């Protein structure tokens, strides 16, 4: 086994960082193609930098955060967190007590690990569902989480969304929508309403997902709840720091839904071309993806099945794409336990610097190389 624990994944991630640093130093930033869809931007202006050095700068950006955050997500009040996972931890610590229960409804199991982990840390029980028929509150339920769109961009049906909110509110249980990517995918691509406009009490989104912002969690919702969650976040150091808040503000100001829509045309064309190279290529809202299990089928002869895990296959493929073709995808650089699906995001800024045949060639060549290993 190549990957036995999350420690091995920390090492894999560090190796990828070292490669990127060397490449950028020798060949410049333009020699890399970040198609991860997570190439978080930090679009602060040079003229913002001096402000970030005063006690007052953050306060000024905080006012813009309220304005731009509410424009993006709706709600009464906004708060920014170091990561969406940190926002979820702060929420569970603030709203759920030891011995209570978190229920989680999502389009497709399993959940992002941050939700069950935070519940466990707080000593709360946790259950997750992707079938509306199974969803049932108990006496202990004190928080309901809805995932708007999964890591693989599966989107929740609007009917289910409404039903979960209705069921929860009948018992006065607050609903948090984990709309990490959903705050844009659901609304821009699927024309669904914003989570708070659907009646949710809280929503959190990742400002690096399908928008050019820093990796951070932006939450909006009811003032009273946001205040409780902010308080917890300050206790454990979970809130976004001033430079990150400035980055979020500038990214929200620059956000343009039309760019997301444009990348869909290219996706349709390119996913057919890649489909000729390997089977099981799936479209995503703004690109295409190859699941680890499909990749494995393509790479490993049936009689050798078991010699490599899905995760190992995806990691190898992503590392070859990085080292041989300078294409950055999530399994090469993601945190331990990251999704093993290799996604090519055509809404990423760097996607404009590669043409379709280059992308197809890189995938074809990388499969060949992984097979040879």
Q: Per-residue x/- mask for its own copies, residues 307 to 336, rule CB under 8 A?
A: ---------------------x-x--x-xx
Give the length of the chain.
373
Pick from 311, 359, 341, 346: nearest CA to 39 = 346
Reading the block at residue 124, the tokens are 């709360």
Q: Is 21 in the site for its own copies (CB under 8 A)?
A: yes
Using rule CB under 8 A, residue 254 touches its own copies: no
Return the structure tokens found at 178: 């984990």
Count the alpha carbons within 13 Å of 331 in the hemisphere toward its beta carbon: 25
Is residue 263 near its own copies by the rule CB under 8 A? no
Please list the alpha-helical segments (H only) found in 49-202. 56-73, 84-95, 114-121, 158-170, 182-184
Distance CA 373, CA 17 (A): 22
Task: Provide the angle, in degrees to the nearest 10, between the axes of the packed helices 310-325 and 6-27.
Answer: 10
Binding status of residue 178 toward its own copies by CB under 8 A: no
Question: Which of 108, 134, 162, 231 is in the footprint of its own copies by CB under 8 A?
Answer: 231
Q: How far apart are CB 180 and its own copies at their closest, in Å? A: 12
Q: In this complex, which beta carbon is closest to its own copies, that of residue 49 or of residue 272? A: 49
> In this chain, which stretch among 18-26, 165-173, 177-185, 291-299 interacts with its own copies, using CB under 8 A?
18-26
Binding of residue 208 to its own copies (CB under 8 A): yes
For the bound state, the minimum distance from the C-beta of residue 63 to its own copies, rounded and expressed in Å, comes to 5
Asked if residue 276 lies in contact with residue 259, where contact means CB atoms within 8 angstroms, the answer is: no
Q: Does 149 bind its own copies (CB under 8 A)?
A: no
Q: Is 244 among the residues that bind its own copies (CB under 8 A)?
A: yes
53 near its own copies, rule: CB under 8 A? yes
**Candidates 137-145, 182-190, 229-237, 298-306; binding stretch for its own copies (CB under 8 A):** 229-237
Least Å from the CB of residue 9 to its own copies: 8
Q: Which residue from 3, 52, 127, 278 is in contact with its own copies, where contact means CB under 8 A?
A: 52
Contact between residue 124 and residue 92 where contact means Cβ atoms under 8 Å apart:
yes
Q: Verify binding: residue 87, its own copies, rule CB under 8 A.
A: yes
Distance CA 252, CA 303 (A): 51
Question: Of 59-78, which residues contact its own copies (CB under 8 A)?
Answer: 59-60, 62-63
Q: Which is nearer to its own copies, 28 or 306 (CB)?
A: 28
Residues 6+ apart with CB under 8 A from 84: 114, 178, 180, 204, 205, 206, 216, 217
346 binds its own copies per the rule CB under 8 A: no
CB of 45 vs its own copies, minimal distance in Å: 9
Q: How far apart are CA 35 and CA 263, in angstroms?
A: 12
Among 136, 241, 279, 357, binds its own copies (CB under 8 A): 241
Long-range contacts of 45-54 (CB under 8 A, 24+ apart): 45/250, 48/246, 48/250, 51/246, 52/242, 52/243, 52/246
> In the bound complex, what is the minimum distance in angstroms from residue 217's beta carbon to its own copies?
7
Alpha-carbon distance of 283 to 269, in angstroms, equals 10
**Min dist. Cβ of residue 94 to its own copies (A):** 11
Strand bridging mode 175-178 / 202-206: parallel
The window from 12-20, 142-150, 163-171, 195-203 that contacts its own copies (CB under 8 A) reads 12-20
Instruction: Please choose, out of 128-136, 182-190, 207-215, 265-273, the segment that lies near its own copies by the rule CB under 8 A.
Output: 207-215
Instruction: Judge whether 83 and 219 are in contact, CB under 8 Å.
Output: no
Q: Which is nearer to its own copies, 155 or 317 (CB)?
A: 317
Q: Does 97 bind its own copies (CB under 8 A)?
A: no
Residues 104-143 that bind its own copies (CB under 8 A): 113-114, 117-118, 121-123
| Residue placing its CB nearer to its own copies in the complex, 6 or 357 | 6
| 49 touching its own copies, by CB under 8 A | yes
Strands 101-105 and 141-147: parallel
Task: Answer yes or no: are the C-beta atoms of 146 and 175 closer than 8 Å.
Answer: yes
């Amino acid at each position: 086994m190549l990957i036995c624990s999350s420690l091995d994944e920390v090492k894999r991630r560090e190796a990828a960082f070292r490669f990127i640093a060397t490449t950028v130093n020798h060949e410049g930033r333009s020699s890399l193609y970040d198609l991860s869809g997570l190439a978080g931007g930090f679009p602060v202006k040079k003229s913002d930098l001096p402000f970030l050095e005063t006690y007052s700068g953050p306060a000024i950006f905080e006012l813009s955060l309220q304005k731009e955050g509410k424009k993006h997500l709706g709600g009464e009040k906004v708060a920014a967190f170091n990561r969406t996972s940190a926002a979820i931890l702060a929420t569970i610590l603030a709203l759920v007590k030891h011995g209570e229960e978190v229920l989680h409804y999502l389009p497709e199991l399993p959940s992002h690990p941050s939700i069950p982990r935070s519940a466990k840390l707080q000593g709360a029980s946790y259950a997750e569902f992707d079938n509306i028929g199974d969803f049932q509150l108990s006496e202990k339920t004190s928080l309901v989480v809805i995932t708007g769109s999964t890591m693989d961009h599966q989107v929740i049906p609007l009917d289910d969304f409404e039903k979960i909110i209705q069921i929860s509110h009948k018992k006065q249980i607050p609903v948090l929508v984990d709309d990490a990517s959903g705050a844009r995918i659901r609304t821009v691509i699927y024309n669904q309403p914003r989570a708070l406009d659907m009646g949710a009490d809280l929503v959190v989104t990742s400002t690096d997902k399908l928008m050019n912002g820093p990796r951070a969690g932006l939450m909006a919702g009811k003032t009273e709840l946001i205040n409780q969650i902010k308080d917890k976040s300050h206790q454990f150091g979970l809130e976004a720091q001033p430079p990150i808040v400035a980055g979020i503000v500038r990214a929200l100001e620059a956000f343009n839904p039309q760019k997301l829509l444009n990348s869909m045309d290219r996706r349709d064309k390119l996913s057919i071309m890649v489909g000729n190279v390997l089977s099981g290529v799936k479209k995503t809202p703004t690109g295409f993806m190859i699941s680890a299990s499909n990749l494995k089928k393509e790479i490993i002869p049936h009689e050798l099945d078991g010699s490599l895990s899905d995760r190992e296959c995806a990691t190898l493929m992503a590392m070859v794409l990085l080292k041989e073709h300078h294409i950055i995808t999530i399994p090469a650089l993601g945190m331990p336990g990251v999704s093993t699906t290799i996604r090519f995001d055509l809404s990423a800024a760097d996607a404009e610097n590669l043409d379709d045949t280059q992308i197809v060639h890189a995938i074809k060549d990388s499969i060949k190389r992984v097979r040879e290993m």
